[in-house]
Structure 1
Amino acid sequence: MTTLRNDVRWLSPVFVRIGYGAAEAVRSPHDAMNYLHFRWPAHRGRAFDNARTLCADAMENGKPCETAREAFIRACVEASILD
């Protein structure tokens, strides 16, 4: 059985802007997964897939949290939502 670690946080948040809304802070792999699954724009490429994998690894397997953050930033750049 896998235990999800929802309490893991990044050293600094990533700010994203979805559509015309205000910038929003994403503070953890858990927050990032919510964006990747439920709020992401239609553009989903290789960086998107990599971010999902690394954020899940950070939450489920204790993989480096900052590696997941970097992957999430690359996915945000790919989707043009990094603020």
Structure 2
Amino acid sequence: MDPGPWNECVPVRMPDDQKIHMVSNTRQAVELLTKRWPVNRGKAYQAAIDICLAVLERDSPAYVARAAFVAAAKEAQVNVVS
């Protein structure tokens, strides 16, 4: 399975700045989740971390990481820009 780019980018705005982060692959998602995420707990957050790591280890397809990242964003009230 390919941990490469996602089919569709996820633009997010973190609560602490106005910059829109264009998350287009699992590595970028892990970077935000582990270093910039406003909370480091919650069911969707932990699932996103676990799923992203599985994708990077090639145990899951990349689209699963994208869906988990979006769910974690909703849980943490991180603005997904449409």
Q: TM-score, normalised by structure 2?
A: 0.85
Structure 1 gaps of 5+ residues are: none
Structure 2 gaps of 5+ residues are: none
Quick check: 1:43–1:79 contact (8 Å CA) kept in 2? no
Equivalent residues, number: 78
CA deviation map 1:19-61 (0-9, x unaligned): 2312210011100000010000036310000000111111113
Quick check: 1:44–1:79 contact (8 Å CA) kept in 2? no
- What is the aligned partner in structure 1 of residue 4 from structure 2? 8
- What is the aligned partner in structure 2 of residue 17 from structure 1? 13
Task: Provide the alpha-carbon RMSD of the alignment.
Answer: 1.6
Runs of 4+ in 1 over 4 A off after TM superposition: none
- What is the aligned partner in structure 1 of residue 77 from structure 2? 80
Structural mapping, 1:1-83, within 5 Å: 8-19=4-15, 20-42=17-39, 44-81=41-78, 82-83=80-81
Percent sequence identity over aligned pairs? 31
